[in-house]
Amino acid sequence: MSKNKKYVTDSYVTMTELVLPNDTNTLNNLMGGRMMHWMDIVSAISAQKHSNRIVVTASVDNVSFGKAIQLGNVITLRARVTRAFNSSMEVRIDVEAEDIPSGKKFESNSAFFTFVAVDQTGRPIDVPEVIPETNEEKELYDGALRRRQLRLVLAGRMNPEEATELKSLFNFSSDSNEGS
């Protein structure tokens, strides 16, 4: 039986939040934990839309905080599933901040979250494949297996020598010549 397939666009989710005093630190900047909370929500909704299942967060890739988001800024979080494996899905989140009175917008954060679809008993369940259409979607799709293998190696769940997509980045071969 073949899996269903869904387009990346089927999983698009946009969430907008106003940074209020309860969301900020003593410098009136958005707290990183609040940002990650919102990123987790928007990406979970995206994964649910793709899988039509309950999802649980499996991993969060590096989240870097560039420019501070200030009290009163509006942030827009955009999420979409980039690739699905058996029961897991990689979701890309992009965050933009806006100071509406000044009209200034800036990219704030981006990250990849991984979710696993589960059934009512909490067991992993298969998810539909992803069909990328645009060049950006295809690039994210193509890089997803490499990112997945790196996550698994870093978590100790995959032997580095088995990470076929990482071999082009790292030399795991003991019989290779040095200094080509």
Q: What is the pLDDT of residues 139-165, one digit of tens each?
A: 999 888 888 877 776 667 666 666 566
Mean pLDDT value across residues 7-32: 97
Is the residue at 171 inside a domain? no
Q: Is residue 23 part of a domain?
A: yes
Q: Are 89 and 60 in contact (CB under 8 A)?
A: no
User: Tell me, what's the pLDDT at 11?
Assistant: 97
Residue 157: the pLDDT is: 66
Return the sign of the alpha-carbon dihedral for residues 158, 160, 162, 167: positive
- Report yes or no: 66 and 94 within 8 Å, Cβ to Cβ: no
Cα 120 to chain centroid distance, Å, stands at 24
pLDDT band at 55 (very low <50, low <70, confident <90, very high): very high
Average pLDDT of every residue of the chain = 88
Asked if residue 135 is part of any domain, the answer here is no
The number of folded domains in the chain is: 1
Q: 141 lies in a domain?
A: no
User: What percent of the chain is predicted at pLDDT more than 90?
Assistant: 71
User: 152 lies in a domain?
Assistant: no
The yes-or-no verdict on residue 176 having pLDDT over 50 is no
Q: How confident is the model at residue 83 (pLDDT cuts 50, 70, 90)?
A: very high
CATH number for position 88: 3.10.129.10
The answer as to whether 97 is a domain residue is yes
Domain carrying residue 94: 5-128
Tell me the torsion sign for CA atoms 77, 139, 1, 150. negative
Is the confidence at residue 71, as pLDDT, over 70?
A: yes
Q: Is residue 145 part of a domain?
A: no
pTM above 0.75, yes or no: yes
52: left (phi over 0), alpha (psi -120 to 50) or beta: left
Whether residue 147 lies inside any domain: the answer is no
- Which pLDDT belongs to residue 146? 82
